[in-house]
Structure 1
Amino acid sequence: MKSNKSFVTGIILGLLGIILFSSKAVMVKLAYQYQVDAVSVLLFRMLFSFPFYVVIAFLYRKNTNGVTLVKNDYLWVAFFGFVGYYLSSYFDFVGLVYIKASLERIILFLYPTIVLLFNKIFLKQVITKNQVYAIVLTYVGIIIAFWNEVAISGSDTYLGGFFILLCAITYAAYLSGSGWLIPKFGVVKFTAYAMIVSCIFVFVHYGIANPIDLLNYPWQVYLLGFLIAIFATVIPSFLVSTSIKLISSSNFAVIAAVGPISTIILAAIFLNEQLTLLQLLGAFAVIIGISLVSLSKKK
């Protein structure tokens, strides 16, 4: 009974975390309405998140998981923090300048298939026939949704889609490469360390690219930056970590299919975005494809 209760709790926490994560793109698009650039919005996300991750890193500093950490382990954390949370986030925020929040989530949802491909190339893991069919279905869905948007919104969609694809690739590289480090550090400690590294890179990037006064933005930008940091970054990161601990990463990967759906709904409510019937068909194909990939991995 206790096990079943923990499983249900894990699913609820996972769904809540996914929905909060998916709200990020919507809030970023809302911030762009105040003529603010991608680097500035990213800065406020990291600036408001930074104190939380510093406190978490301090509290978990003595958690070793029975493993002795060496200098190279910390260097790899810095590298994956750069790739997975700085580069990936930057590409995502830039891409959202040019495309809908709902389309962003559909394209970004490619990352599980890219993880499979990375694991095949670098770790020589076998891709099953069912996974191949699921990957093909996923990419067909992306093409349908993307090309229909190009016909509606024009050539800027190419640029936005390219940056979101880079986001998916760098995030997939982070997931594939950091898997062996997470057991050494523990999920919470590793996430905190990687996020701190990412925050530092964003601060440096902003200092070089945007010499604007930090107090010179509309108040709505600060509010949205705070909301993105707390409700679309810090809180869901721990909800997801707890969910994975309770139900396993394989089960979590299946319920993660809620992400694009929740983004589409939130974008329709807060941004008045509407997907065409063809784009909804493409989104449905992507969700089915990723679910099949996840179920296949679970087996």
Structure 2
Amino acid sequence: MQTTRTFVYGIFLGIFGIVLFSSKAVMVKLAYQYDVDAISILLIRMLFSFPFYIVIAYLYRHQNSEVAIKNKDYVWVVFFGFIGYYLASYFDFVGLTYIKASLERIILFLYPTIVLLLNKIFLKKPITKVQAGAIALTYLGIVIAFWDEVAISGQDTYLGGVFILLSAITYASYLVGSGWLIPKFGVMKFTAYAMIVSCICVFVHYSVISEVDIFSFSWEVYFLGFLIAVFATVIPSFLVSASIKMISSSNFAIVAGIGPISTIVLAAIFLNETLTLLQLFGALAVIIGIFLVSINKTKTTV
């Protein structure tokens, strides 16, 4: 039976993990101040992350060893590692060259609604009236926030928003498609394998496309890349997994609402970003909508 202490500890881990995840956009924006491009900072992040996931894959190599895994399952791991962590990360980093870190987090926070829509389209899962209303509310919030930002920052806001939306869509596709693979491999092993695939994709992308010397940047870029890899990628992934195990996914969905708020606060502190009252109203609409989607989804799947 779950104790109050365990529940409180789980909430604390969840909040800490979400705040660390939210710091990624802020640190990427800080790195861009040192004339580094999106693929280079993404490469640095993956170079620092790669050894951690190699170790994790080795330590958990026997997880779910009693389950028969076919060759095609590994093919799907490669595919979902490609779209879920490589493409999603690349679109996210490119989008951040055009828009505020706080707006980036608000758009990425849409992924639960995209999961619902993909389940409806491809898996024929029904969407309740409450969920439909919540989805409408979230996208209304995005329109409000962006309409005001375009008036302030110009047309590049649209381009950045499209890239971040593509990131949310590819990540949601990963969540929908990989659900049946995780029970076969186990959470830790599947995540490690998918992240290794993602790292390799970034390495190939950089070697084929980029002409930038990876050793030409200032020390601040490598330091921020290390922080992004360890404190905004590896550590929070474990914290979030532990939190979900302690407090359940439905309770974690409530805790996750702190994500956009923490990004807004961190962006204000470290980047001097500010949101207008209209943008804050749009952000609040998105947070409420995602909260309703998450809660209603949990009730309909119990």
Q: TM-score, normalised by structure 1?
A: 0.98
Distance 2:95 2:194 in 1: 22
Summarize the Cα distance change of 1:134–1:220 in structure 2 as closer, same or farther, 3 Å threshold: same
Residue 293 (structure 1) aligned with residue 293 (structure 2): yes
SS of the equivalent of 1:284 reads: helix
CA offsets, 1:31-81, max 9 Å, x none? 000111000010011000000000000011111263111111111111000
What's 2:247 paired with?
247
Residue 56 (structure 1) aligned with residue 56 (structure 2): yes
What's 1:236 paired with?
236
Residue 125 (structure 1) aligned with residue 94 (structure 2): no
**Equivalenced residues, count:** 299
Distance 1:182 1:247 in 2: 20
Summarize the Cα distance change of 1:20–1:150 in structure 2 as closer, same or farther, 3 Å threshold: same
Distance 1:65 1:59 in 2: 13
- Within 5 Å, which residues of 2 pair with 1:110-121? 110-121=110-121
CA offsets, 1:186-207, max 9 Å, x none? 1111111000000000001111
Distance 2:203 2:286 in 1: 35
CA offsets, 1:164-198, max 9 Å, x none? 00001000000111111111111111111000000
CA offsets, 1:129-150, max 9 Å, x none? 1111111110000000011100
SS of the equivalent of 1:214 reads: coil
- Within 5 Å, which residues of 2 pair with 1:146-165? 146-165=146-165
Contact 1:251 1:298 in 2 (8 A): no
- Within 5 Å, which residues of 2 pair with 1:75-114? 75-114=75-114
Q: Per-residue deviation at 1:2? A: 4.7
Tell me the percent identity: 75
Distance 1:141 1:65 in 2: 45
Distance 1:121 1:254 in 2: 26
Contact 1:104 1:164 in 2 (8 A): yes
Distance 2:24 2:39 in 1: 15
Runs of at least 4 residues off by over 6 Å: none
Contact 1:65 1:186 in 2 (8 A): no
Structure 2's unaligned 5+ residue stretches are none
Counterpart amino acid of 1:102? S
Contact 1:84 1:174 in 2 (8 A): yes
Contact 1:22 1:263 in 2 (8 A): yes
SS of the equivalent of 2:8 reads: helix
Residue 218 (structure 1) aligned with residue 218 (structure 2): yes
What's 1:33 paired with?
33
Q: Per-residue deviation at 1:115? A: 0.2
Q: Per-residue deviation at 1:24? A: 0.2
Distance 2:65 2:269 in 1: 44
Counterpart amino acid of 1:88? A
CA offsets, 1:223-282, max 9 Å, x none? 000000000000001111111122222221221111000000000000000000000000
| Structure 1 vs Structure 2 CA RMSD | 1.0
Counterpart amino acid of 2:276? T
Distance 2:198 2:87 in 1: 8
Distance 1:248 1:120 in 2: 24
Contact 1:85 1:171 in 2 (8 A): yes
- Within 5 Å, which residues of 2 pair with 1:64-83? 64=64, 66-83=66-83
Q: TM-score, normalised by structure 2?
A: 0.97
What's 2:8 paired with?
8
Structure 1's unaligned 5+ residue stretches are none
Distance 1:2 1:138 in 2: 33
SS of the equivalent of 2:135 reads: helix
CA offsets, 1:204-232, max 9 Å, x none? 11111223332211100000000000000
Distance 1:2 1:177 in 2: 31
SS of the equivalent of 1:98 reads: coil
SS of the equivalent of 2:3 reads: helix
Distance 1:186 1:167 in 2: 25
Summarize the Cα distance change of 1:175–1:274 in structure 2 as closer, same or farther, 3 Å threshold: same
Distance 1:223 1:149 in 2: 31
What's 1:280 paired with?
280
